[in-house]
């Protein structure tokens, strides 16, 4: 049965049962959990583990924290006999990175990719009126065929050690909620919307996929609950005159209520909050509702103390408050699609989101940007056969899942299909990228701009794939990984020189990463690397260069907050490029950014 990605909601016709809480958990170092009967549930003595959360930071020993391999979760739920005539699905909001799901000992589904939801239908395996067991086998090993990419080595005692090709901790587990979704047999499975503005009004073209034959009705309500439009049919148009548009930091959300009737009776009803806006590119500008916008904000991570990459609503709320305080209007979901609730809040707050796939580490180097910046030899990633056969298929299917999940969010204004891939080392990157960019265009009826984040080697004269991008995303660290310290003056010059070349492409250029590591509380006169005031000087220098170049239409600092990484020589308890600490307190640079961003209008350079 099809993967049902529509966000689960309780309505008059549907029910959602949250399975969050303590589950049973265990590692499966020998990969023989099936033989041990784990498919029927873990032993009562197995340790408890919170869901949702990543498991790593609960442990006090290194081997558990860093565990790589197979591991299991299980819990028990009750199936209401009233669900017998309905469809019952279990929805994993994210299971990192590979999952096989068993209910009452029977395999009901599997999924690859740790940052997008999937559902398994349970109709044939449930015991109604009784306890039911769900057991999930997960695996968090990395390879060139996983998104994100990496590898692992095996120590003499058999311990597997993860070596990510990316710069964030390989947090894994049931990192987002798990819910049962109970829907009528004839229900709404998918909704697709596209908005066209005309004469002060808007026409929303819609199409609805249902799980059976039925009559579809759409009613549109404004924020006061007044009905402003209606339509019928599985596809059609809803016209709103005098439309209240969704604008950056000034959101307005209509409620689109879709209903399916079968033999004249209401079978299903699903409400969707919808911001009406358009996105397009004209010359070197990105336009929202026909007007140019200047992006101010961050590359972020889903990362917090103790819960790791686990879904954490209090941190989500705090992050939005901090972004509003500092004058930001946008962020990139670096380096994976985030929790759905983040996009819902971004819709409500009017944030512009660049939605990114977990295609990070597609450059074979354990130190990623650092090796590349120093010119160290890197093996061409796209030459590998597995990449051209397995990775590409997974990449395309995760692209499909991300677009299906996120396509109706007003906040999502662009797609980032990869972060810092090797677009220089091999011509084979081109065919791979073409398939991705073409598929994205086919799937997104809103035709949002597509791009990938360019690593320093991917310069205008060398990058083989830039021509596919609708706008250009640059990650640059002149003044940190190269030309740092006293050389910073040359760093700004180098940045300036590079931008002269990008300017000639005629496309909008957005900085999706720039920043320096620093220790909170360390200030030095004169400044030194790692001091908070060095970060401020670096940002000021970059901003002067940005202001000089008309093509630069966005600045997203790396990173919003300090975040955890694999331990190593260049990381002191994680990456410290945060403008806020990991506990979300401001560093010195936060005040400098606030000063600048509060003074830049939305249509800066418009
Ligand atoms: C990058 C990566 C990002 C790293 C960052 C850094 O280019 O895209 O994931 O965290 O550099 O701080 O080195």
Would you say residue 371 has pLDDT above 60? no
Task: Name the CATH superfamily, with its identifier, for domain 292-599.
Answer: Glycosidases (3.20.20.80)
Centre of ligand 1 from the C-alpha of residue 593, in Å: 20
Residues of the chain with CATH 2.60.40.10: 188-277
Nearest residue (by CA) to ligand 1, atom 9, is: 167
Percent of the chain with pLDDT over 90: 94
Across the chain, mean pLDDT equals 96
| Ligand 1 atom with least separation from CA of 455 | 7
pTM, 2 dp: 0.97
Atom number of ligand 1 nearest to Cα 335: 9
**Strands of 227-232's sheet, edge to edge?**
227-232, 215-221, 254-262, 265-274
Q: Give the Å distance between the CA of 56 and the centre of ligand 1.
A: 22
Q: Of the residues 302, 340, 401, 420, which is catalytic? A: 420
User: Residue 3: is its pLDDT beyond 90?
Assistant: no
Q: Which of 474, 403, 388 is nearest to 433 (CA)?
A: 388
Q: What is the pLDDT of residues 8-45, one digit of tens each?
A: 999 999 999 999 999 999 999 999 999 999 999 999 99
The rounded distance, in Å, linking the Cα atoms of 588 and 538 is: 12
Structure tokens at 436: 């991705």
How confident is the model over 266-280, as a mean pLDDT? 98
Alpha-carbon distance of 503 to 595, in angstroms, equals: 27
pLDDT tens digits for 52-110? 999 999 999 999 999 999 999 999 999 999 999 999 999 999 999 999 999 999 999 99
pLDDT at 372: 54
Question: Quick one: pLDDT at residue 234?
Answer: 97
Stretch(es) of the chain classified as CATH 3.20.20.80: 292-599
Confidence of residue 596 (pLDDT cuts 50, 70, 90): very high
Task: Supply the pLDDT for residue 366.
Answer: 46
Cα separation, 354 vs 331, whole angstroms: 6
At 383 the pLDDT is 93
237 is catalytic: no
- What percent of the residues of the chain are helix, what percent strand, and what percent coil, each to the nearest 5? 20, 35, 45
* CA 517/CA 534 separation, integer angstroms: 9
Reply yes or no on whether the pLDDT at 199 is more than 90: no
* Residue 368, pLDDT above cutoff 70: no
C-alpha distances (whole Å) from 72 to each of 51, 103, 105, 174, 506 are: 12, 13, 13, 10, 51
Of ligand 1's atoms, which has the minimum distance to the CA of residue 577? 12
Nearest CA to ligand 1 atom 1: 369
- Tell me the pLDDT tens digit for each residue of 107-157: 999 999 999 999 999 999 999 999 999 999 999 999 999 999 999 999 999
What pLDDT is attached to residue 342?
A: 98
Using a pLDDT cut of 70, give the percent of the chain over it.
97
Residue 493's contacts (CB-CB under 8 Å, 6 or more residues apart) are none
pLDDT of residue 1 exceeding 70: no
Q: Is residue 377 over pLDDT 70?
A: no
Ligand 1 mean position, distance from CA 380 (Å): 19
In this structure, the number of other CB atoms found within 10 A of the CB of residue 62 comes to: 10
Grade residue 347 by pLDDT with cuts at 50, 70 and 90: very high
Instruction: Give residue 425's pLDDT.
Output: 87
The rounded distance, in Å, linking the Cα atoms of 53 and 175 is 4
pLDDT score, position 374: 61
Q: Report d(CA 6, CA 405) in Å as an integer.
A: 7
526, burial (CB in 10 Å: exposed 0-12, middle 13-18, buried 19+): exposed
Cα(205) to centroid of ligand 1, in Å? 39
**Cα–Cα nearest to 372, from 309, 425, 334, 317:** 425
DSSP 440-459: HHHH-TT---EEEEEPTT--
Query: Is pLDDT of 369 > 70?
Result: no
Give the Cα separation of 279 and 195 in Å (integer).
10
What residues pair up with 124 in beta bridges, in sequence order? none
CATH class of this structure's domain 188-277: mainly beta
Radius of gyration of the chain (CA): 24
The stretch 417-442 carries a mean pLDDT of: 96
Q: In what order do the strands lie in the sheet with 279-282?
A: 279-282, 285-288, 291-292
Question: Can you tell me the distance from the alpha carbon of 355 to that of 347, in angstroms, rounded to the nearest whole number?
Answer: 13
Comma-separated ranges of CATH 2.60.120.260 domains in the chain:
15-183
Residue range 230-242: average pLDDT? 97
Q: Give residue ranges with CB within 6 A of ligand 1.
A: 166-167, 335, 369, 419-420, 475, 513, 558, 575, 577
The answer to whether residue 141 is catalytic is no
Q: Which residue has the tokens 């798990």?
A: 178
Which has the minimum average pLDDT: 155-159, 304-308, 583-587? 155-159
Q: Pick the catalytic residue from 98, 340, 513, 592.
A: 513
> What confidence tens digit (pLDDT) does each residue in 494-544 have?
999 999 999 999 999 999 999 999 999 999 999 999 999 999 999 999 999
Q: What does each C-alpha distance from 20 to 11, 164, 565 come to in angstroms?
A: 20, 29, 26
Which helix (H) or strand (E) segment holds residue 453: the answer is strand 450-454
Residue 200: pLDDT over 90:
no
The pLDDT value recorded for residue 576 is: 98
**Per-residue pLDDT for 484 more than 70?**
yes
Contact between residue 38 and residue 63 where contact means Cβ atoms under 8 Å apart? no
Structure letter (DSSP) for residue 115: T
The CATH number for 15-183, chosen from 3.40.109.10, 2.60.120.260, 3.40.50.20, 3.30.160.100, is 2.60.120.260
Q: Helices then strands (H, E): number in the chain?
A: 10, 30
Looking from the CA of residue 369, the nearest atom of ligand 1 is: 7
Block residue for tokens 């819902």 = 344
């Amino acid at each position: 049965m099809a993967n049902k990605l529509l966000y689960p909601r309780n309505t008059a016709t549907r029910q959602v049962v949250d399975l969050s809480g303590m589950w049973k958990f265990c590692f499966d170092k020998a990969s023989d959990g099936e033989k041990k009967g784990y498919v029927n549930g873990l032993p009562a003595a197995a340790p408890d583990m919170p869901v949702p959360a990543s498991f790593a930071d609960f442990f006090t020993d290194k081997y558990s924290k860093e565990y790589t391999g197979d591991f299991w979760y299980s819990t028990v739920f009750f199936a209401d006999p009233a669900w017998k005539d309905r469809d019952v699905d279990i929805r994993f909001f994210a299971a990192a990175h590979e999952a096989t799901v068993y209910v009452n000992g029977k395999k009901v589904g599997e999924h690859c990719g740790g940052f997008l939801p999937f559902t398994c239908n349970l109709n044939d395996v449930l015991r109604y009126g009784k306890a039911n067991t769900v057991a999930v086998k997960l695996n968090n090993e990395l390879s060139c065929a996983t998104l994100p990419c990496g590898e692992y080595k095996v120590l003499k005692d058999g311990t597997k050690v993860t070596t990510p090709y990316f710069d964030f901790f390989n947090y894994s587990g049931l990192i987002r909620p798990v819910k049962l979704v109970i829907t009528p047999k004839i229900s709404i499975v998918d909704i697709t919307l596209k908005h066209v503005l005309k004469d002060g009004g808007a026409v929303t073209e819609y199409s609805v996929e249902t799980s059976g034959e039925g009559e579809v009705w759409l009613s549109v309500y404004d924020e006061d609950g007044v009905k402003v439009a209606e339509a019928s049919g599985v596809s059609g148009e809803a016209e709103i005159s005098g439309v209240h548009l969704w604008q950056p930091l000034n959101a307005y959300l209509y409620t689109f209520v879709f209903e399916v009737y079968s033999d004249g009776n209401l079978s299903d009803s699903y409400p969707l909050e919808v911001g009406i806006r358009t996105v397009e590119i004209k010359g070197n500008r990105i336009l929202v509702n026909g007007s140019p916008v200047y992006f101010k904000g961050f590359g972020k991570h889903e990362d917090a103390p103790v819960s790791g990459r686990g879904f954490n609503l209090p941190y989500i709320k705090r992050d939005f408050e901090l972004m509003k305080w500092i004058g930001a209007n946008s962020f990139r979901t670096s380096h994976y699609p985030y929790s759905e609730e983040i996009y819902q809040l971004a819709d409500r707050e009017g944030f512009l989101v660049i939605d990114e796939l977990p295609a990070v580490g597609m450059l074979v180097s354990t130190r990623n940007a650092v090796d590349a910046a120093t010119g160290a030899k890197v093996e061409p990633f796209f030459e590998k056969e597995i990449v051209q056969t397995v990775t590409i298929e997974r990449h395309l299917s995760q692209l499909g899942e991300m677009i299906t999940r996120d396509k109706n969010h007003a906040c999502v204004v662009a797609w980032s299909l990869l972060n810092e891939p090797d677009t220089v080392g091999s011509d084979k990157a081109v065919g791979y990228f073409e398939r991705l960019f073409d598929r994205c265009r086919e799937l997104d009826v809103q035709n949002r701009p597509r791009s990938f984040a360019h690593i320093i080697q991917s310069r205008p004269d060398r990058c083989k794939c830039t021509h596919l991008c609708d706008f250009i995303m640059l990650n640059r660290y002149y003044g940190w990984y190269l030309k740092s310290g006293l050389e910073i003056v040359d760093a700004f010059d180098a940045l300036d020189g590079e931008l002269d070349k990008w300017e000639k492409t005629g496309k909008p250029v957005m900085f999706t990463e720039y920043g320096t590591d620093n220790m909170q509380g360390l200030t030095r006169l004169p400044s030194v690397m790692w001091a908070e005031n060095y970060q401020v000087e670096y940002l000021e220098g970059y901003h002067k260069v940005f202001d000089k170049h008309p093509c630069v239409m966005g600045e997203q600092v790396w990173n919003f907050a300090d975040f955890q990484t694999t331990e190593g020589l260049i990381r002191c308890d994680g990456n410290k490029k945060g403008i806020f600490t990991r506990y979300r307190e401001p560093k010195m640079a936060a005040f400098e950014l606030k000063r600048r961003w509060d003074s830049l209008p939305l249509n800066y350079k418009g």
